[in-house]
Each structure stands twice: as structure tokens, then as C-alpha cells.
Amino acid sequence: MPGKMWLDDTPYIWLERNLKRLGATMLVSAIYDVGLGLSNLLFPSWFSGLLGIPVPEDLFYLHLWSLAHLVFACFCILAWLDIKRNILIAAGAIVARVSYALFMFLSVWLLHVRPAWAILGGVSLAFAVVHYILLRLSDFGLWQVLVQAGNPPGMRRK
């Protein structure tokens, strides 16, 4: 542990620093999601060509996919604003990003869509891994946060 500590550093400062890093990665993932969602909303024909799906007449599914990314961004911004109080949002983002990546990988494998979908899933999975590592370094457990859902450890369920 002395190799990881800075001069006059305490474990609490180290945990707080990792929480700030988690918040920063939530902000970076929000910027990624906004960029992806807005590029699909503004240039749907280019984006659908990149992903290898035909452009439908009403663009409903492409816009729905864009809105899903914009919703990801909204929750990541909330977590970034106050990561300690919104740690449940960070844990939920990890689960959502892993689910999204699994969906993208299965789409490439079973539905035979273009491998660009797997790249998007890989980016999402990379964000989930970084979020999870920083969550663990901040002395939070994913399952513990999800089960307790923000309740203090001494509080019991009835």
C-alpha cells in the first residue's frame, strides 16, 4: 500500500480520489453517448450505412437507439454531478453497459449484422470494466450497492 499512497495521503483521501476518477469516467461515457446519439439523430442515413442496416421509411428504430444513448448520458451526468450520493446510478450504469454489450455481441453473432455493432459493444464493455474497477477501488461492491440501493448498512428490511 505505501507504493500507491502519496505524501501525507490517507486511505480516505485515496478512496475519495478514486470516486472522483469514477465520476470523471462517467462524464467521459456521457460525452461518448451524446456524440453517438446525436450523430445518429442528425445523420441517420450515414450512420445506418455504417452499421449495415437499411434505412427504414420512418427511422423509428434508429431514433429509438439514439434516444437510448441519450438516456445513458443523462444518468451518467447525474452520477458525475455527485458520485458519492449517486453511487447506485454508477452501479446501474455498469449493469446497463454490460447488458448493452451483450446485446451487441449477440446481434453480431446470431443476427449476422456488421461487426461495427461489436465495436460499439466493446466500447460499452470497456466503460463498464473501467467503472467497475474504480467502483471497487472506491471500496464499494457492485452487488452490495445494488442490493442496499442507497440504504445505510445498519438498516434492515422488514
Give the residue-averaged pLDDT of 134-157.
76
CA gap 34, 16 in Å, rounded: 27
Instruction: Residue 150: count other Cβ atoms within 10 Å of its Cβ.
Output: 11
For 16-20, 24-28, 125-129, which range has the lowest pLDDT when averaged over its residues?
A: 16-20
pTM of the model: 0.82
| Confidence check: pLDDT of 12 > 90 | no
Give the residue-averaged pLDDT of 128-140.
92
DSSP 54: -
DSSP 157: -
pLDDT at 154: 59
